[in-house]
Chains A and B, each alone.
Chain A
Amino acid sequence: DQQVKQNSPSLSVQEGRISILNCDYTNSMFDYFLWYKKYPAEGPTFLISISSIKDKNEDGRFTVFLNKSAKHLSLHIVPSQPGDSAVYFCAASAQGGSEKLVFGKGTKLTVNP
């Protein structure tokens, strides 16, 4: 049973445009969500997180939106840059983030120059 779902395995956008990566979850106990970026043969690097008490969190070009009623979150990257090309993983945790992380399968983002 996949508790965190990233239904789009890949996404391609033009440089300068917005990239929107989506993530859905099924476990209502999840209350802390994170996005990680991963290059091939490297470990994931943390991008941005959001607690369930918020519906939006921004950090530079990255914004995460959380819709608790729909159990859906999204990562917006504006403007997209070629260096953003990577696999993006959505992860969720319970107990305010202190429980283990549950990852989605990832979305491969390609930003074309």
Chain B
Amino acid sequence: GAVVSQHPSWVICKSGTSVKIECRSLDFQATTMFWYRQFPKQSLMLMATSNEGSKATYEQGVEKDKFLINHASLTLSTLTVTSAHPEDSSFYICSADPPRRWSSYEQYFGPGTRLTVT
């Protein structure tokens, strides 16, 4: 089956610093990856759609200058939280779209990254 990995699985950083989270599709190429965040007892909220070789598409209310997304290859997308603040503490999850030839539309999710900003 399709495997998506994320690194790191958890990170603690100080307020004002930047943190980079990596999302990799291990056994398939993904032209599109997605970044979500989840607050406790809340739904998965789509932050942005990451397209290989082009700019990410951000959802309304998500600061593109704060959450930098780079999709430099067909297997790697990165999310950088810049100048992190305690309110950015959350669970960040990425997902990847499988090739359409698989005839399915489910996204494959990474295991998530717990970010804590102190």
Contacts and interface: CB of A to CB of B under 8 A. Distances in A.
* Interface size band for B: 20 to 34
Contacts of A44: 44, 93, 109
* Interface size band for A: 20 to 34
A106 B95 CA distance: 18
B111 interface: yes
A42 B112 contact: yes
A73 to B, nearest CB: 15
B contact patch SS: strand
16 contacts: A32-B105, A34-B105, A34-B106, A36-B109, A43-B4, A43-B111, A44-B93, A49-B106, A93-B105, A97-B105, A101-B46, A102-B46, A103-B43, A103-B45, A105-B41, A105-B42
Interface of A: 4, 9, 32, 34, 36, 41-46, 49, 89, 93, 96-98, 100-106
